[in-house]
Amino acid sequence: MIARFIKTTCFAALAATVSIGAAIPAAAQGNPFAKGWTLQNEQSALDFQSVKNQTKVESSSFATFSGGIDENGAAHVTVMLESVDTKIDLRNVRMRFLFFESFQFPEATITAQLDPALLADLPTVRRKTIEMPYAMNLHGVLKTAKADVVVTLLSDDLVSVATKTPISVAAADFNLMGGIEKLEDAAKVDIIPSASVTFDFMFARNADPVAEPEAAPATDTEEEKPAQVALEPTGNFSTEACEGRFEILSRSNNTYFTSGNSILDGKSEPFLISIADIVKRCPDMTIEVGGHTDNIGSDAANMRLSERRAASVVQNLVAKGVPAANLTSAGYGETQPKADNATKKGRWDNRRIEFRVIKGASE
């Protein structure tokens, strides 16, 4: 009888401790995700590799992400695209503004529903590979796929969920081919339009709220985003940093007007907010806002339109708190095309607003 009692008790205790990455107390029997899990940003990694000029591999990462697994096994990770880290300042700026367009699409999200049956033996085996269906929302496009992930029980309160092999993400699947073309033009390189993504996410079991009666009411703190996640110098920019940023921003072509006039389209706002922030951090410099058009219409009409559009952008930035003394506008009409006006895409590229530093602190 005693042996049977011990055997039965041990079996019940084991069943009660099954979880995605840690032993769950006996009170959590029947729910391997009881209490939930929180992603540990500082202990986790999210990296991607890209290839340019056919053979040169570049590794980059994201610095800021958050997420968790709720008591029903629903997992989610939110990646702040502003936090892309290529280890080179202006390359980060290119990735943010030309590729990810993070001023308009600040986040990427990954969601998955975990099956507790697949992880029931993790406390015994400690490490196993499972197939995980997931959905990813990137650049306004939602796609579903599957990946093999390795789940490793590191301690009673910590679990690692990592890619077994890199996940291929194609730029065309997320409407990012335009970003690829802008990067190629800016850096004068050829880029293979897909990336290999790897991650190693650490999840910690949430604390028992009963054990911390003085704590504030539970909130979804993992969803809170820092006010600034871009990896760049703090304070004001140098002349070189300002010039580099405005050269990149001029390539983005994300300033929109209603057809045939100088009224800014509302979808320009996220981009112009970013522009205003950068101009404010170049306080000793004068920034020219230059308007350009295609060759449809008369030279005189195009010149007037380009002047009005540039002036409209200046007015918008001043309304956002940029000192008027730091801005000037100019219209160039159709005199400085950057593409072939014989094609629709070329005319689109030529209808643009450019930004440049025309006066630095030392001048």
Examine residue 231 and state whether it is found in any structural domain, yes or no: no
Whether residue 164 is predicted with pLDDT greater than 70 in this model: the reply is yes
Q: What are phi and psi of 341, to 5 degrees?
A: -70, -5
Map residue 329 onto helix, strand or coil. strand
Whole domain around residue 82: which residue ranges?
Answer: 2-208+215-223
* Residue 234 is assigned to a structural domain of this protein: no
Residue that finishes a domain, picked among 223, 253, 273: 223
Per-residue pLDDT of 312-355, as tens digits, reads: 999 999 999 999 999 999 999 999 999 999 999 999 999 999 99
Average pLDDT over the chain reads 87
Whether residue 9 has pLDDT greater than 70 = no
Question: Would you list the DSSP string of 115-142?
Answer: -GGGGTTHHHHSEEEEEEEEEEEETTEE
In a domain, 115, yes or no: yes
Same domain, yes or no: 271 and 199 = no
User: Looking at 164, 193, 223, which one is the last position of a domain?
Assistant: 223
Is 176 in the same domain as 39?
yes
CATH code of the domain containing 182: 2.40.128.110
- What letter does residue 272 receive in the DSSP assignment? H
- Residue range 266-322, pLDDT digits in tens: 999 999 999 999 999 999 999 999 999 999 999 999 999 999 999 999 999 999 999
Q: Side chain identity at 207, as an amino acid letter?
A: A
Domains: count for the chain? 2
Considering the domain architecture, whether residues 39 and 176 belong to the same structural domain is answered as yes
- 139 falls within a domain: yes
In a domain, 233, yes or no: no
The CA distance from 155 to 172, in Å, is 40
In a domain, 310, yes or no: yes
- Which amino acid, residue 134? Y
Q: Is residue 229 part of a domain?
A: no
- What per-residue confidence (pLDDT) applies to 217? 53
Residue where a domain stops, chosen among 223, 256, 291: 223
Mean predicted confidence (pLDDT) in 106-132: 91
d(CA 83, CA 94): 12
Q: Rounded mean pLDDT of 25-32?
A: 44
Q: Is the same domain home to 254 and 351?
A: yes
